[in-house]
Amino acid sequence: MAQQSIGLGLGFEDPEISLARQDNWNSHLARHAENKPDEPALTYGDRVQTWQQAHDRVHALADALHRRGVGAGDRVLVLMLNRPEYIESALAITAIGAIVVTVNFRLTPAEMEYQATDCGAKAVITERALQTLATAVSATVPELSLVVVLDGEPGDGVLDYDELIAESGDPHPPTPLTAETPAVIMYTSGTTGRPKGAVLSHGNLLSQCVTVLRAAKERRDDNIAMAVPPMFHVAGLAGVAGNMFAGIPTVIYDAGSFDPGALLDQLAAEKVTSIFLVPAMWQAVCAEQLRQPREVVLRTMSWGAAPATPSLLRTMAETFPEAETVAAFGQTEMSPVTCLLLGEDAIRKIGSVGKPVPAISYRIVDPLMEDVPVGEVGEIVYRGPNMMLGYWNKPEETKKAFAGGWFHSGDLVREDEDGFLWVVDRSKDMIITGGENVYSAEVEAAVADHEAIVDVAVYGRPDDKWGEAVVAAVVARPDAPRPTVDELRDFLGDKLARYKHPTVLRWLDELPRNTSGKVLKTSLRNTDD
């Protein structure tokens, strides 16, 4: 009984003390603004923003959103390219207890409309280049009543981003954020082909911060990180959260384009020490560095989101011999990193995704949830503080994902005698092309709408540049003219984002199926030219 009374009457429940004790990306920003206000936090081109400036702008935007009725639990879409305002928006939204919903800027209006409707979004924050997409969706989603645009075209119902930050008015009240408070919804492909919104909490992001620090080669005051992955990806936003936790300055690379020469120039000029790229990017960066060497000071070069060949990993090590290679493996639902292959093992265990990070518990199981012996293949399942809260508005999907009290990854792996994991397949037919996840069922549904196609199966083919290419194996409708791959891509233009479009067409007399009628995609892959 004495233990139960500890803390009662001692002020431990005081709201001010609880707020002072918070540990999340908003409190991290406040801490650095207090401890090193004039040091750089975010660099974007010629713009340098200090920790104090970032803190002030975040809270000014949070105040303005709160005055317009955005509050705890509300969902706010962020549709932007990589830029400081993306990070400001995310922090401002969560500062008032609302939830950030990241939106892939490559989506079509129909795809974005689905996500906005599914999560019940109340507002969207965007920029001039994407204003047309945002306003088109807001016109079809009644609940999406607030549109904020950076440097946008004036129009009915459109608010200017910088004017909101500059305005005066009542501040938002202090908002308690616990480890279980939802922070972000990120849409990821589901078993039906419809995206599912993975809900990540502030505790999830904090756990990821610790994992990011573990991947760093050295803890030094002169560390500088570059953010390259799009912020709508968990690798992008969670990576910045790690920098925010550690007080590491972040150089933001514009995700709207990729120029390996320009990236290398920026690495050298800003003295960047750590960077994460997908393998296709590393291939281009290494080729450019070998063609025209720059004086870079990289200490950590991370990769993930798609498979990397042993030859590429060797090239990375030879091109940047002073940097440690780190492989990061995981998925959105796990915030995302679950395994790391650190530099000392990068060559010795080439092809492995490394060992599980200390934050998680894991098992490798058969379909009956029995552990498989070392060396045998099974599905890896997880527990831990970086495990998502669940899928937004999808209780049955959430229940299925957490069957047996563990999160089911869908990844089939084997563990070697040294404890390193090797991914052998994905139980879901996910294609990863250029770091983007493409779910075959969604593409199949769109392709099947073409009048010349009677049957279709979509799968990934290994591709040196993109990791995987999207292949559509199709059966023609009798007497119908067969479209070329370019004609099919034109047909899909308003149905799917372009990165989801097939780049290869295979015309077959029939698709291989088993006795239950399921398409044998393994057979398609094995007979692929």
Distance CA 78, CA 57 (A): 16
The stretch 463-468 carries a mean pLDDT of: 88
pLDDT of amino acid 427: 63
Residues 6+ apart with CB under 8 A from 443: 458, 470, 472, 496, 500, 501, 502
Pick the CATH number of 431-526 from 3.30.300.30, 3.40.309.10, 3.30.230.10, 3.30.70.890: 3.30.300.30
Task: Retrieve residue 204's tokens.
Answer: 């999830």
The domain covering 15-39+49-197 belongs, at the CATH homologous superfamily level, to ANL, N-terminal domain (3.40.50.12780)
Domain extent listing, the chain: 15-39+49-197, 431-526
For residue 419, pLDDT beyond 50: yes
Task: Retrieve residue 298's tokens.
Answer: 């990289």
Confidence of residue 516 (pLDDT cuts 50, 70, 90): very low
Phi, psi values for residue 89, rounded to 5°: -60, -45
CA geometry: angle 336, 80, 88, nearest 5 deg: 75
Task: Retrieve residue 501's tokens.
Answer: 């479009």
Distances (CA, A) of 93 to 97, 167, 509: 7, 17, 53
pLDDT of amino acid 238: 93
The stretch 424-435 carries a mean pLDDT of: 76
Going by the DSSP 8-state scheme, the letter that residue 249 receives in this structure is -
Residues 6+ apart with CB under 8 A from 83: 44, 127, 252, 254
pLDDT tens per residue, range 160-190? 999 999 999 999 999 999 999 999 999 986 4
Distance CA 234, CA 186 (A): 7
Distance CA 314, CA 475 (A): 41
Same fold, 15-39+49-197 and 431-526: no
Distance CA 6, CA 8 (A): 6
Go through the chain and tell me how many residues it has: 529
For residue 284, pLDDT beyond 50: yes
Task: Retrieve residue 242's tokens.
Answer: 């790690």
H/E element holding 319? helix 310-319
Task: Retrieve residue 8's tokens.
Answer: 């009662």
pLDDT tens per residue, range 298-346? 999 999 887 777 778 889 999 999 999 999 999 999 999 999 998 878 8
Going by the DSSP 8-state scheme, the letter that residue 181 receives in this structure is S
The stretch 116-141 carries a mean pLDDT of: 97
Q: Are the C-beta atoms of 127 and 152 separated by less than 8 Å? A: yes
Name which residue leads in pLDDT, 241 or 1. Answer: 241
- To the nearest whole number, what is the mean pLDDT of the chain? 90
Q: Are the C-beta atoms of 212 and 198 separated by less than 8 Å? A: no
pLDDT tens per residue, range 250-269? 999 976 778 999 999 999 99
The SS3 call for residue 383 is strand
Residue listed under structure tokens 């196609």: 453
Confidence of residue 351 (pLDDT cuts 50, 70, 90): confident
pLDDT of amino acid 11: 56
E-only strand ranges, 202-259:
225-227, 250-252
Residue listed under structure tokens 């070998």: 290
Task: Retrieve residue 424's tokens.
Answer: 């052998």
Distance CA 43, CA 53 (A): 12
Confidence of residue 424 (pLDDT cuts 50, 70, 90): confident
pLDDT tens per residue, range 204-238? 999 999 887 776 656 678 899 999 999 999 999 99
What pTM was computed for the model?
Answer: 0.85
Rg of the chain, C-alpha, whole Å? 24
Task: Give residue 280's identity as a one-letter amino acid code.
Answer: A
Share of the chain above pLDDT 90, in %: 71
Q: Are the C-beta atoms of 386 and 335 separated by less than 8 Å? A: yes
For residue 529, count other CB atoms closer than 10 A to its CB. 5
Kindly give the pairing relationship between strand 436-439 and strand 99-102. Answer: unpaired
Lowest mean pLDDT among 31-40, 53-62, 135-144, 422-431: 422-431
pLDDT of amino acid 111: 93
The stretch 496-513 carries a mean pLDDT of: 93
For residue 366, count other CB atoms closer than 10 A to its CB. 12
Residue listed under structure tokens 């239950």: 516
Kindly give the pairing relationship between strand 75-79 and strand 99-102. Answer: parallel
Give the residue among 504, 432, 479 at the shortest CA–CA distance from 235.
Answer: 432
DSSP line for 58-96:
HHHHHHHHHHTT--TT-EEEEE--SSHHHHHHHHHHHHT
pLDDT of amino acid 215: 66
Distance CA 306, CA 468 (A): 8
Share of the chain above pLDDT 70, in %: 93
Distance CA 98, CA 70 (A): 7
pLDDT of amino acid 493: 92
Q: Is 21 exposed, middle or buried (0-12, 13-18, 19+ CB in 10 A)?
A: exposed
What residues does 437 pair with on adjacent strands? 432
Task: Retrieve residue 62's tokens.
Answer: 């949070």
